[in-house]
Structures are given as structure tokens and as C-alpha cells.
Amino acid sequence: MKRIGILTGGGDAPGLNAVIRAAVKTAINEYKCEVIGIRDGYDGFLDPQSGIVPLGMEEVRGILPRGGTILGAANRGNPYARKVIRDGREVTIDVSDEIVKGIEEQRLDALLVLGGDGTLHIAHELAMKGVPIIGVPKTIDNDIGGTEITFGFDTALNIATEALDRLHTTAESHHRVMVIELMGRDAGFIALNAGVSGGADVILIPELPFKFENILKKIRSRSEQGRKFSLLAVSEGAKPVDGAQVYSRKGNEVYVPRLGGIGQIVAEYIEQQGFESRVTVLGHVQRGGTPTAFDRWLATRYGAAAVRLANRKGFDRMVALQCGEITDIPLEEAVAVPKRVNPLGDAVITARNIGISFGDE
């Protein structure tokens, strides 16, 4: 193994820089290997002059606690559907062959792809075209199959929990219902785990469609017991039993649809029923800033393991955490079935045991 590349695709997540640092250090210390970084996801291969940068010890110095990614990210960087202007018109084209050519020109022995669902899907397709790819599971949503946890999730969870703690005191002072809308796409892990950790009274997640009247039942019963405030942790992908998810922007072949707005709808309903409510949309605060110690630790283990896997030529595979140990699984398996909250699992049962309502009963 002489030369490896690293790219970060999709949205950023806390811990990306920690993975990059660990991979670069392992590649240099253990294998005397040259490392390059690809800027802005797969896009960097299209313009190597500006898109390819050397990654040595100097470049990764001091980046362990830094949020974001030193390589830049692009979540419209799907090589199979790239929007370009042709003859003054916007058209969608497939640039995957150009990217494969770009990768070949870099003479890489391995390409580490740090990404979520979409980026890893593309990684698997490129691997089938012969690119020596190793995946590393990144996302605050924690929705990648085959791994217990993705890096970035723990940081988002801590930020969301702190936000709930802060809303708790102001909710109590003003006798209000506070609704917080949290990220997670179609997976309710952030809302569930932060909701439990932050003492929410109601948690709404995509995996358990809710009824508005059940939310009200919980708020009313608390009020009747003298608890004049309530805290609601609402996942952006939560939906009512007979309704659909709420989007702030539709998707197309380049952009995935943008979830957002369910928190406001829930808060308005509660207010109409006579309970003063406010809504907070935590948004990208969950993705920014320094990673937690757990995420730095996990990201470092993933980064080093990815390089070891590359040296064993374990291509078209992804590093994963199973039973607390780092292992690796086929990329195809990782992206086949996205991970979701198990509605019958112990986490949901525990929440119910301590009186949290999911609005489903």
C-alpha cells in the first residue's frame, strides 16, 4: 500500500476530522504510505488541480477537536445525478465515469469514503466499477445498518439533551409547553435518546406514528396533576397516524427532500387546545462544533481500522462497531437496510416505563 485517498461526503458530522487524523497517522506511522485528501466529496476528482491536497502529519495537527471537515463536504455531490448548465439550461448528467477516471489517475491503492447513507451507496456502486473503496459510517442520524453507532451521533445527542435541559427550566417558569424539533431524517434515535436523557414528557419519532389527541391527553393529565408545563422532543421525520411527513422543501434528482415543520404543527395544535406553547428548531446546531470524547474515540478507532482494512485489501467494505469491537462488513449490507428505532426494543419500552408518551396510545 503506497498511496491512499480520503474523502468526506454528504453533510458534515462531528468527528470527521478525528477520522481523517487517525487515518493519516496510521497510514504514515504503520505503512509509510502517502495520503491525499479529496476536496468536497467526489467532486474533488473532477478538478485535481484544486480538488486534491496532500495530507501529512502537518495537515492533521490540531484537528482532533475541530468540528466540520478540513476537506469540505458536498451533499449534492452525487456523481450519478449532477446538475450542470448546458446551453443556458440546467440539466442533470451522470459524471460517474469521469470520477472513476479521476480516481484511476490518482493511482490510489485505497480510497477511504467517510459518509452516510447516500455517500456509502455511491461508494458501493463505484466499488463495483473497480474502485478500491473502504467505507466509514458517519452521520448524526445513526441510521446506517450493520453498525451499532455512527460517529457524530453522540455529539448531536449531547447537544440535543443540553437544549432540552435548557428548555426545561424556562418551560417550568412560564408554565408552557415547549416543543423541540430534532434532526434524524427517517430515524428517531436523536429524539428518542435525547428525549429520555433530557426528561421529555412526549417523544415523537418516525417509527411510531402519533395521534394529536394522545399528545393532548398526556399534557392534560400532567396539568391536572399540577405539572403546568411539558417538554416535547419531536423528530423532524415524525408523522401523524393518518398523515405524511412534513417537508420544508421538496426533493428532486439532485437534492433529497428537506424535512422540517412538524414541530410547529404540533405546537400550534397544542396552543389551539388552550396550552401556551413555543417551538424550537435545533437544526444544524446539532451538527456543528467540537465532537464529544466518545465521538473522538470512536472516530479515531474507525480511522485507524479503515487503514488497516485497506492494507488487507478489504475493499467494498465498511468499518463497523459490533458488540463494542471494531469489525468490518460488506458495504452492500451496510446500505441494504437502513437502521431504525425498534418500536418494540428496550429503549422504547424503558421510555414508556417511566411515563413518556409516544403519542401512539
Work out how close the CB of 260 gets to ligand F6P at its nearest, in angstroms, rounded to a whole number.
8
Applying CB under 6 A, the residues found at the interface with ligand F6P are 11, 75, 116, 139-141, 183-185, 236, 258-259, 287
Work out how close the CB of 141 gets to ligand F6P at its nearest, in angstroms, rounded to a whole number.
5
- Give the residue with the Cβ less far from ligand F6P, 75 or 106: 75
Residue tagged 478489504 (cell numbers)? 314
Burial of 361 per CB tally in 10 Å (0-12, 13-18, 19+): exposed
User: For residue 148, what are the CA distances in angstroms to 136, 137, 197, 201?
Assistant: 13, 10, 19, 26
- Give the residue with the Cβ less far from ligand F6P, 52 or 204: 204
Work out how close the CB of 110 gets to ligand F6P at its nearest, in angstroms, rounded to a whole number.
25
Helices (H), 1-113: 16-31, 48-51, 57-60, 96-105
Q: By Cβ distance, which residue is nearest to ligand F6P? A: 183
- Give the residue with the Cβ less far from ligand F6P, 24 or 183: 183
- Give the residue with the Cβ less far from ligand F6P, 177 or 191: 191
Active-site option among 141, 154, 186, 328: 141
User: Which of 2, 72, 67 has its CA nearest to residue 42?
Assistant: 72
- Give the residue with the Cβ less far from ligand F6P, 11 or 132: 11
Work out how close the CB of 76 gets to ligand F6P at its nearest, in angstroms, rounded to a whole number.
9
Residue tagged 426545561 (cell numbers)? 168
Residue 328 is among the residues annotated as catalytic for this protein:
no
Three-state secondary structure call for residue 346: helix
Contact status, residue 151 vs residue 301, Cβ threshold 8 Å? no
Work out how close the CB of 217 gets to ligand F6P at its nearest, in angstroms, rounded to a whole number.
29
Q: 279 — alpha (psi -120 to 50), left (phi > 0) or beta?
A: beta
What is the full DSSP assignment across 13-29?
-TTHHHHHHHHHHHHHH
What positions carry a catalytic annotation? 141
